[in-house]
């Protein structure tokens, strides 16, 4: 802080405490790191709490589509395009 001989402060030199120079960027980075850490911890806590109450992650076998006639025909066409005669005969 600069004070002229008349006792007046130079307003261009007044700084907030703890926010000098490159320190502001550090605090922003620190704040972002804390926010990301908190989000990850809350997400993990939510998953654990959900699983304790009976919620389960979907398994891959449940996500499998039914073998409708359209799906079989499309699978045969895909195999024919790829030149895979064994897959084409299995369909």
- On the question of pLDDT at 9 being above 80, the answer is no
* Distant-in-sequence, close-in-space partners of 91: CB < 8 Å, separation ≥ 6: 72, 75, 76, 79
Instruction: Give SS3 for 6.
Output: coil
pLDDT of residue 15: 55
**pLDDT, tens digit, for every residue of 29-72?**
899 999 999 999 999 999 899 888 887 776 665 446 677 888 88
Region of 60 please: left (phi>0), alpha (psi -120 to 50) or beta.
alpha
What is the torsional sign of CA 12, 13, 17, 23?
positive
């Amino acid at each position: 802080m600069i004070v002229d001989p008349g006792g007046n402060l130079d307003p261009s030199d007044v700084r907030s405490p703890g926010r000098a120079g490159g320190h502001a960027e550090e605090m922003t980075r620190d704040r972002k790191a804390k926010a990301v850490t908190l989000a990850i911890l809350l997400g993990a806590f939510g998953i654990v709490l959900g699983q304790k109450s009976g919620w389960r992650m979907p398994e891959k076998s449940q996500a499998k589509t039914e073998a409708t006639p359209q799906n079989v025909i499309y699978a045969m066409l895909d195999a024919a395009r790829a030149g895979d005669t064994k897959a084409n005969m299995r369909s």
